[in-house]
Amino acid sequence: MTREEFHAIVMAFPGVEEGPSYGQPGYRINGKFFTRVRKDDASAVIMEVSFDERDLLLEVEPETFHFTAHYKDYPCVLARLETLDPDQLKGFLERRWRKSATKAMVRARDAAD
């Protein structure tokens, strides 16, 4: 996946705003961090991933998923864009979006679906 494809997927979620994060484009929803791509390794920061799920992802898809010491204590995982499946990204982002969006935004999205 390219950065442009990543950007398009992220911006398809209602209410997402782009802004700087660690000197790179970052994305927020309702003022809360949503995701970003790390400059160091072109990996997306994927939130709302439990430690057990992260361990499984690292074991099953080590070419895609990893984390650094900075993220070890956070429920998240890093995903290399070049091997990240777009549908998998959408699923992870949906989880984060539902937690960060307002209840009215979630209701509106559910009603539209």
Distance in angstroms (rounded) separating the CA atoms of residues 1 and 45 = 14
Q: Phi first, then psi: what are they for 80, rounded to 5°?
A: -70, 125
**Does the residue 101 lie in any domain?**
no
Q: At what angle do helices 86-100 and 3-11 cross, to 10 degrees?
A: 40
What pLDDT does 20 receive? 85
Q: How many domains does the chain have?
A: 1
Considering only CA atoms, which of 46, 25, 30, 81 is closest in space to residue 13? 30
Q: Give me the sign of the Cα torsion angle 31, 37, 40, 45.
A: positive
By residue range, what is the domain housing residue 19?
A: 3-84
Q: Would you write out the chain's pLDDT as a tens digit for each of its 113 residues?
A: 999 999 999 999 999 999 988 888 899 999 999 999 999 899 999 999 999 999 999 999 999 999 999 999 999 999 999 999 999 999 999 999 999 999 999 999 999 87
**Does the residue 92 lie in any domain?**
no
62: left (phi over 0), alpha (psi -120 to 50) or beta: alpha
**Does the residue 91 lie in any domain?**
no
What pLDDT does 57 receive? 98
Instruction: Indicate the pTM of the whole model.
Output: 0.92
Distance in angstroms (rounded) separating the CA atoms of residues 107 and 92 = 19
**Does the residue 111 lie in any domain?**
no
